[in-house]
Amino acid sequence: MPSRLIRFNKPYGVLSQFTPEGRWRGLKDFIDIPGVYVAGRLDADSEGLLLLTNDGQLQARIADPRFKMEKTYWVQVEGVPTEEALAALREGVQLNDGLTRPARARLLDQPPAVWERQPPIRERKSIPTAWLELAISEGRNRQVRRMTAAVGLPTLRLIRASIGPHTLDGLAPGTWLE
């Protein structure tokens, strides 16, 4: 059977599994292809690139942290990042499960050209927000959110833009391409 790789732009509120649970929708609402499985995870409250494949070896290469496939995220945070906060993200942040690997982190001058989130994030008039681009090569549970919180910048919105060479290019939320 030929190896298949599917890029999917996972909307907010969708699980990284085919079966819905509670208030969260499942992938079966969007992808009706037998024999493909998710390579890696993306929390229901995160959006963006999710890869699916029917190839177990490819799935392992994408998902296993030993292969250090870099994942890039666009992160809308509450507050304005200081150079110290960005430096801490670049050096590695102490979390309750240990020190993270160094990340690539930069403040984006402009918000990325992305879709409106449904439902919209909560915005507070008195607290500014900013967008970061953060690239990591490990995948701990809710790692990006925990990293930004550790440097005093709570995550409001999280979008995975790429996994290795695979990007969101050409994908509207809820759509996929093989």
Q: How far apart are CA 57 and CA 14, in angstroms?
A: 25
The vertex-157 CA angle with 78 and 169, nearest 5°, equals 135
- Of 29, 32, 43, 109, which residue is the catalytic one? 43
Element counts in the chain: helices (H) and strands (E): 3, 11
Secondary structure (3-state) at 148: helix
Does 32 qualify as catalytic in the annotation? no
Q: Of 50, 45, 49, 47, which is closest to residue 18 (Cα–Cα)? A: 50
Q: How far apart are CA 108 and CA 131, in angstroms?
A: 6
AA identity, residue 108: L
Phi, psi (degrees; rounded to nearest 5) at 83: -60, -35
Residue 13 tokens read as: 């509120």
Q: How far apart are CA 79 and CA 154, in angstroms?
A: 8
Residues known to be catalytic? 43
